[in-house]
């Protein structure tokens, strides 16, 4: 069975391609990109005139909650949310119950992904045993079981020697560490950005300096070890500048940002609704602008959602007691197109690059491109479609998103994984 996407604007940043062309998919691979490809009897033809055809989107920072937290999300619901959002590859974080800190868990989750997921799921292993930050987990063993990267996400690796050991040790395996950079002693029990809003709400704040110090330490350790480090969900203006300077002097640091830290500020925090509660928190307008600038000038390599669904009863309670995080896979493309692309802050090819070729490069994935013979993971986007975010339509089990009720312009309309259409017009085809 062949699939022919006819007449779309094909944007493939990995190959510097941006033109109107047809895309032919054959045997689960990209077969040809050219003008006026002729279909034969065995070819299914889809007219995508006026739409954008891109490599399947990649999100290297999600929480699929397996094992142990299936009341929040699981591979079935989470991967369907990914497909609905135009993602063909996602990576899941190891802060689960138990923590994914050994090879057998990596193997088990890869098997679960095959059985339950509709998109590719990469598994990120814990850097330290139990994510306790005390001693390295069996990262080599996990590499051989297929872990894509390592992270104690959700926790900062407070002990500098432990992180330095990780940076050195992982050189053998050429895998990257993803750092949740918030200095623990400075964030304490903070529930939102420390700023004007928290001051008058009386809520404990998480100051930007906690992120800045952590990012600086991580950069210095990576520089010292001559190793690669990836800064998760960067959100503060100073942290962006620290990464920018480090990159200039050749430190092997990369960084990612979330749609919410690229678009929302602390002013949106509603004391009665935990939908805006997330770590790192929503910052100020100045920080948001700096993150946007960092994305455009290359300081920030990738966009990730930090998709983190929780059970409804966990989020539907007092702000302080509700867990941090919210789902993001199904709103990312719409939010980014509306608030960045349509707002004139980023070009379409650059935005697509941050969601395809660039994360693929950071994590050394053979994905994120429409090169001939590449896996046929493809996303089709309608940049002009207007829609309203409704939680009733979510595939994720998460119910509390800061974007619910927002009117957005632009959304993915087709997701193709391994040559098969798994989402069309927002509906998952099982």
Partner 1 sequence: MVESKNVSLRGKNVLGLEYFSADEIELVLQTAKEMKNIIKRDIKKVPTLRGKAIVNLFYEPSTRTRSSFELAGKYLGADVINITAGSSSIVKGESLRDTLLTVEDMGIDAIVMRHKAEGAPEYATKVVKAAIVNAGDGAHAHPSQGLLDLFTIRQYKGGFKGIKCAIIGDILHSRVARSDIWGMRKMGIEVHLAGPKTLIPRFLYKEKGIFIHDRIEDAIENADVINVLRIQLERQKSGLFPSTREYARIFGLNDKRLALAKKDVLVMHPGPMNKGWEISPKVAYSSNSVIQEQVKNGVAVRMAILTLILTGGKGNEVIA
Positions marked active-site: 306
Interface residue with partner 1 among 317, 364, 393, 407 (CB under 8 A) is 317
Kindly state whether residue 312 participates in binding partner 1, applying the rule CB under 8 A.
Answer: no
CA–CA distance, 81 with 63 (Å, rounded to integer): 12
**Was 64 annotated as part of a binding site?**
yes
**Was 180 annotated as part of a binding site?**
yes
Decide the pairing of beta strands 192-193 and 205-206.
parallel
Q: Which residue in 335, 332, 308 sits closest to 322, CA to CA?
A: 308
**Was 27 annotated as part of a binding site?**
no
- What backbone phi and psi angles, to 5 degrees, belong to 33? -125, 115
> Of 195 and 419, which CB lies nearer to partner 1 in the complex structure?
195
> Of 143 and 203, which CB lies nearer to partner 1 in the complex structure?
203
Interface residue with partner 1 among 316, 345, 387, 391 (CB under 8 A) is 316
Interface residue with partner 1 among 321, 373, 390, 430 (CB under 8 A) is 321
> Of 150 and 319, which CB lies nearer to partner 1 in the complex structure?
319
Interface residue with partner 1 among 87, 150, 156, 319 (CB under 8 A) is 319
CA–CA distance, 369 with 414 (Å, rounded to integer): 16
The one segment of 98-106, 176-184, 317-325, 397-405 that binds partner 1 by CB under 8 A: 317-325
- What backbone phi and psi angles, to 5 degrees, belong to 283? -105, -150
Q: Burial letters for 291-326: b for 16+ Cβ neighbours within 10 Å, e otherwise? A: bbbbbbeebbbbbbbbbbbbbeebbeeebeebbbbb
> Of 138 and 316, which CB lies nearer to partner 1 in the complex structure?
316
User: Per CB under 8 A, which of residues 187..206 are in contact with partner 1?
Assistant: 194-196, 198-203, 205
CA–CA distance, 413 with 411 (Å, rounded to integer): 6
Kindly state whether residue 320 participates in binding partner 1, applying the rule CB under 8 A.
Answer: yes
> Of 35 and 200, which CB lies nearer to partner 1 in the complex structure?
200
What 268-272 contacts at long range (C-beta under 8 Å, 24+ apart), as own/partner pairs, is: 268/402, 269/192, 269/197, 269/201, 271/201, 271/203, 271/319, 272/319
> What minimum distance in Å lies between the beta carbon of 404 and partner 1?
14
> Of 138 and 314, which CB lies nearer to partner 1 in the complex structure?
314
Kindly state whether residue 405 participates in binding partner 1, applying the rule CB under 8 A.
Answer: no
**Was 306 annotated as part of a binding site?**
yes
> What minimum distance in Å lies between the beta carbon of 258 and partner 1?
23
**Was 1 annotated as part of a binding site?**
no
Contact mark string toward partner 1, 205..244, x via CB under 8 A:
x-x-------------------------------------
CA–CA distance, 39 with 331 (Å, rounded to integer): 34
| Number of residues in contact with partner 1 under rule CB under 8 A | 22
**Was 260 annotated as part of a binding site?**
no
Contact call for residues 368 and 302 (beta carbons, < 8 A) = no
Contact mark string toward partner 1, 240..279, x via CB under 8 A:
------------------------------xxxx------
**Was 233 annotated as part of a binding site?**
yes
Contact mark string toward partner 1, 146..185, x via CB under 8 A:
----------------------------------------
**Was 238 annotated as part of a binding site?**
no
**Was 279 annotated as part of a binding site?**
yes
Binding-site residue set: 61, 63-65, 95, 153, 180, 233, 279, 306, 310
Question: Residues at the annotated binding site for substrate?
Answer: 63-65, 95, 279, 310
- Binding site for Zn(2+), by residue number, is 61, 63, 153, 180, 233, 306
Site residues, partner 1 (CB under 8 A): 194-196, 198-203, 205, 207, 270-273, 313, 316-321
């Amino acid at each position: 069975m062949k699939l022919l996407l006819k007449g779309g604007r094909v944007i493939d940043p990995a190959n510097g391609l941006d033109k109107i062309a047809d895309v032919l998919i054959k045997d689960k691979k990209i077969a040809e990109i050219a003008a006026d490809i002729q279909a034969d009897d065995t070819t299914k033809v889809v007219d995508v005139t006026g739409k954008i055809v891109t490599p399947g989107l990649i999100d290297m920072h999600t929480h699929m909650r397996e094992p142990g937290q299936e009341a929040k999300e699981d591979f079935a619901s989470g991967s369907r949310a990914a497909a609905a959002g135009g993602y063909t590859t996602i990576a899941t974080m190891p802060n689960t119950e138990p923590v994914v800190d050994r090879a057998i868990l990596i193997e088990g989750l890869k098997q679960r992904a095959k059985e339950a997921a509709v998109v590719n799921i990469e598994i990120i292993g814990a850097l330290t045993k139990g994510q306790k930050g005390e001693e390295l987990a069996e990262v080599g063993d996990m590499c051989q079981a297929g872990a894509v990267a390592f992270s104690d996400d959700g926790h900062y690796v407070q002990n500098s020697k432990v992180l330095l050991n990780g940076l050195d040790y992982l050189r053998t395996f050429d895998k990257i560490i993803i750092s949740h950079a918030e200095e623990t002693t400075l964030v304490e029990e903070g529930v939102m950005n420390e700023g004007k809003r928290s001051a008058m709400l009386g809520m404990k704040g998480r100051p930007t300096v906690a992120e800045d110090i952590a990012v600086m330490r991580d950069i210095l350790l990576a520089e010292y070890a001559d190793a690669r480090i990836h800064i998760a969900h960067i959100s503060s203006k100073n942290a962006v500048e620290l990464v920018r300077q480090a990159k200039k002097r050749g430190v092997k640091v990369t960084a990612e940002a979330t749609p919410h830290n690229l678009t929302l500020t602390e002013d949106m925090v509603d004391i009665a609704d935990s939908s805006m509660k997330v770590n790192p928190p929503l910052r100020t307008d100045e920080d948001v602008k700096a993150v946007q600038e960092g994305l455009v000038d290359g300081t920030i390599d990738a966009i990730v959602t930090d998709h983190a669904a929780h059970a409804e009863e966990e989020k539907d309670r007092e702000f302080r007691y509700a867990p941090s995080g919210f789902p993001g896979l199904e709103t990312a493309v719409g939010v980014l197109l509306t608030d960045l692309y349509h707002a004139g802050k980023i070009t379409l090819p650059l935005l697509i690059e941050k969601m395809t070729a660039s994360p693929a490069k950071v994590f050394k994935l053979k994905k994120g491109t429409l090169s001939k013979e590449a896996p046929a993971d493809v996303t089709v986007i309608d940049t002009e479609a207007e829609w309203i975010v409704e939680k009733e339509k979510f595939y994720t089990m998460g119910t509390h998103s800061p974007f619910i009720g927002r009117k957005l312009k632009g959304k993915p309309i087709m997701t193709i994984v391994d040559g098969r259409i798994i989402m069309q017009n927002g509906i998952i085809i099982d």
